[in-house]
Structure 1
């Protein structure tokens, strides 16, 4: 978290242009390629766009196309926006022509937005089963339903029957080898109530005080948070939502003069400056920083996802193929050019075997809490070296991902997690973490806590079902 005692040794990576691309190449030399499922045919007149520009264009075309709009995604391989349309006939043809002139690749699909939304409501009514999740995948024009390893027997039969009842071509089911859980741990490590989480982004609260965003299941697990294990509290939870319509918490620094720079600590003495909150786009490449596993990248797979954790159902999340582990909860999801995208919520798998991870959109969290990204307090950007755990709070806006700090600060090095929690594993991990899961679940607090502890890995053993990232 932001702290005046943080050494100013970290080099800030300028966002935009070659500098940002160089940083991404240094930390993650092999970024995932786009999984474009759209059929293209013939010469394309679609414009080459950045992911953020594609998102802006998609928003405009959604209004232009009206009911004919059936979703969109970013084809990162060709750097183009692909827009799905239905019922293209009559006057709509003119609208399609306009969409193409605007620079999008347009393709006709079978399922309309209204039909997909109705199918999602049916799943919510008939298949809200712990260990399941679903989101619309515009690349396949279907709902992608994911079931973790705990969904077996009658629960699997119920899910399969519900999906079949939606009709042919409406949804697909994918089995996940892991279990859905929350991951308490994150960018720069923060500690509270026996749990370890990660700081997401530093912000300025509505009353002008310095604060940071993290996962809601972390916020309900403990009221006060420290930037060091067993250290004195330095921040207090102001608002927290989990489960329900999101997984986010606003935590205010106790010292109004706290410096909270707007950046993310990505390890190796480097940070990425966070310039604005950005909406996620399917197909977009994103980076996640967490206190347990460090820096990892992947793609956005779906939006407005519903996840059924053991503690309850959470809606409105971003689904990705980025890995995460206990202790990464609350950590930042961002773009290489400085866009704050999300806060780590939970998922299945780990950073060895892979899996799905869900994130709370930052834009929604900011709107709900009344906070804004950016430096707060006396501030500036201290750019903590990350080394100090938690302090990670990094910067305003950012998550700085205390990544380093965690695991001995080392874990990150080049984006790879060494130590994965070694640094704190002992502490929070064992024990605290796993215990929590039971306790929290009963009181609705997101057992994530437990995970936090997982920091090392300890917290993960023996957990089942969807869990929080705490």
Structure 2
């Protein structure tokens, strides 16, 4: 797969450059309107996914313990709010807010306690769990490496959480990180064999041009190039992995570098990135990677905790918290790449997952909002979010709870992967 090399003194790597066949949807704006019925009562508002976090925060504050999470119904473009038990006042408040009430069994506290139990008792490499507000349960996943006594222990732990609290399923793949991505970036470690992807161009707190990528890339190597045999053009300033996230801030060595705030979605289509966006369960998102190109999927869980098999200790675990779980596919070479919305929201950086883009699987992403807050960086050139207006696109262009997860890692040190700017796994 070819990659363009851009003059380092003139322009930075643009996030994402390869498009996978069939990975497309229309870049059309969503409606955003409230409606009333004949009696004057408020009916569910038609919303964008980006509207959900703010409204959810207000309702959570208003409803207190009766609030049990929310999600986005993409088909109807509506916000759904979980209400614990038969609380008529809470149900009415949700309706007045233009959302759809969904009465559920489990409170947020119940699910958080169950997730804490899993973190304490079942942090097994190759396992994953997330609180899915659509089912009001913890969805627990074990990959194909979890067998025998480990599977039995996991199954027993899930059963002991109580009826209707969690479900357990088996994944055919293996959880791992994926080095490589959108517009590829390379390290000369191991003869240039470490490959990742640039996620989003940003401005560092001191005004320097920089970009975000996966933390396990920044830990694996300090200097990065835009070609496999090229000289370094950028140096890692900060890297977090494992721990509270999987992100790196990498500054361009040339202070004159122009770092456009955009994702190259392929076929001449550029998606201007105008803001950092919070992920919403149920919303459609797009991932750009140099290995597999453009793919879309759905956010399925938030605040995921992933237990990667340690590269340095066969019996060790590298735990990462605070990730986004999705149904988007990815493969080695997509690490660090961009997860974004059709209207220009920067959502995440590719971290790791299971499966591939043939059979599917789960993929986890570092939230961009958390990475920006931790590093002090801002989106866009000179601290501004460039490209506030979305460019028009032809048909076929990309359209646009809590969680705990476990996984194994195989590519943070020296494995050759296909990657690029805007995506790293």
TM-score (normalised: structure 1): 0.74
Residues 189-234 of structure 1: CA deviation (Å, up to 9, x unaligned): 1001231001000011111111000000001010000011111000
Q: d(CA) in 2 for partners of 1:337 and 1:256?
A: 29
Q: Does the aligned pair in 2 maintain the 1:26–1:414 contact within 8 Å?
A: no
1:30: Cα distance to partner? 8.5
Q: How does 1:154-173 map to 2 (within 5 A)?
A: 154-173=149-168
Classify 1:362/1:235 alpha carbon distance in 2 versus 1 (closer, same or farther; 3 Å): same
- 1:137 and 2:154 equivalent? no
1:414: Cα distance to partner? 7.2
Classify 1:350/1:27 alpha carbon distance in 2 versus 1 (closer, same or farther; 3 Å): closer
- Identify the residue that residue 418 of structure 2 maps to in structure 1: 455
SS in 2 for 1:337: coil
- Identify the residue that residue 309 of structure 1 maps to in structure 2: 308
SS in 2 for 1:47: strand
1:95: Cα distance to partner? 3.8
- Identify the residue that residue 403 of structure 2 maps to in structure 1: none
- Identify the residue that residue 332 of structure 1 maps to in structure 2: 338
- Identify the residue that residue 195 of structure 2 maps to in structure 1: 196
- 1:28 and 2:24 equivalent? yes
Q: How does 1:380-459 map to 2 (within 5 A)?
A: 447-451=411-415, 453-455=416-418
Greater per-residue strand proportion: 2
- 1:82 and 2:80 equivalent? yes
- Identify the residue that residue 233 of structure 1 maps to in structure 2: 232
Q: Does the aligned pair in 2 maintain the 1:181–1:469 contact within 8 Å?
A: no
- Identify the residue that residue 121 of structure 2 maps to in structure 1: 126
SS in 1 for 2:245: coil
Q: Does the aligned pair in 1 maintain the 2:197–2:424 contact within 8 Å?
A: no
- Identify the residue that residue 360 of structure 2 maps to in structure 1: 354
- Identify the residue that residue 13 of structure 1 maps to in structure 2: none
Q: d(CA) in 2 for partners of 1:30 and 1:142?
A: 32
Aligned length: 373
Q: Does the aligned pair in 2 maintain the 1:68–1:88 contact within 8 Å?
A: no
1:187: Cα distance to partner? 1.8
- Identify the residue that residue 67 of structure 1 maps to in structure 2: 65
Classify 1:234/1:360 alpha carbon distance in 2 versus 1 (closer, same or farther; 3 Å): same
Q: Does the aligned pair in 2 maintain the 1:201–1:213 contact within 8 Å?
A: yes
Residues 381-418 of structure 1: CA deviation (Å, up to 9, x unaligned): 8xxxxxxxxxxxxx99xxxxxxxxxxxxxxxx977xxx
Classify 1:155/1:30 alpha carbon distance in 2 versus 1 (closer, same or farther; 3 Å): farther
Q: d(CA) in 2 for partners of 1:201 and 1:250?
A: 10
Q: d(CA) in 1 for partners of 2:382 and 2:225?
A: 18
What is the Cα-based RMSD across aligned positions, in Å?
3.0
Classify 1:205/1:7 alpha carbon distance in 2 versus 1 (closer, same or farther; 3 Å): closer
1:6: Cα distance to partner? 6.8
Classify 1:195/1:469 alpha carbon distance in 2 versus 1 (closer, same or farther; 3 Å): same
SS in 2 for 1:184: coil
- 1:245 and 2:208 equivalent? no
Q: Does the aligned pair in 2 maintain the 1:292–1:455 contact within 8 Å?
A: yes
- Identify the residue that residue 35 of structure 1 maps to in structure 2: none
- Identify the residue that residue 392 of structure 2 maps to in structure 1: none
SS in 2 for 1:227: coil
- 1:205 and 2:169 equivalent? no
1:108 to 68, 82, 103: 103
Q: Does the aligned pair in 2 maintain the 1:200–1:343 contact within 8 Å?
A: yes
Q: d(CA) in 1 for partners of 2:68 and 2:375?
A: 30
Classify 1:414/1:77 alpha carbon distance in 2 versus 1 (closer, same or farther; 3 Å): closer
Q: Does the aligned pair in 1 maintain the 2:217–2:248 contact within 8 Å?
A: yes
Q: d(CA) in 1 for partners of 2:111 and 2:6?
A: 43
Q: Does the aligned pair in 2 maintain the 1:448–1:469 contact within 8 Å?
A: no
1:375: Cα distance to partner? 1.5
Q: Structure 1: state its 5+ residue gaps.
A: 11-22, 32-42, 382-394, 397-412, 416-437, 457-467
1:97: Cα distance to partner? 1.5
Classify 1:469/1:265 alpha carbon distance in 2 versus 1 (closer, same or farther; 3 Å): closer
Q: d(CA) in 1 for partners of 2:104 and 2:211?
A: 41
Q: Does the aligned pair in 2 maintain the 1:221–1:447 contact within 8 Å?
A: no
Higher relative contact order (CA 8 A, sep 6+): 2
Q: d(CA) in 2 for partners of 1:414 and 1:48?
A: 23
Residues 273-320 of structure 1: CA deviation (Å, up to 9, x unaligned): 000000000000000001111100000001111111112111111100
TM-score (normalised: structure 2): 0.82
SS in 2 for 1:251: strand
Q: Does the aligned pair in 2 maintain the 1:320–1:357 contact within 8 Å?
A: yes
Q: d(CA) in 2 for partners of 1:352 and 1:294?
A: 13
Q: Does the aligned pair in 2 maintain the 1:211–1:376 contact within 8 Å?
A: no
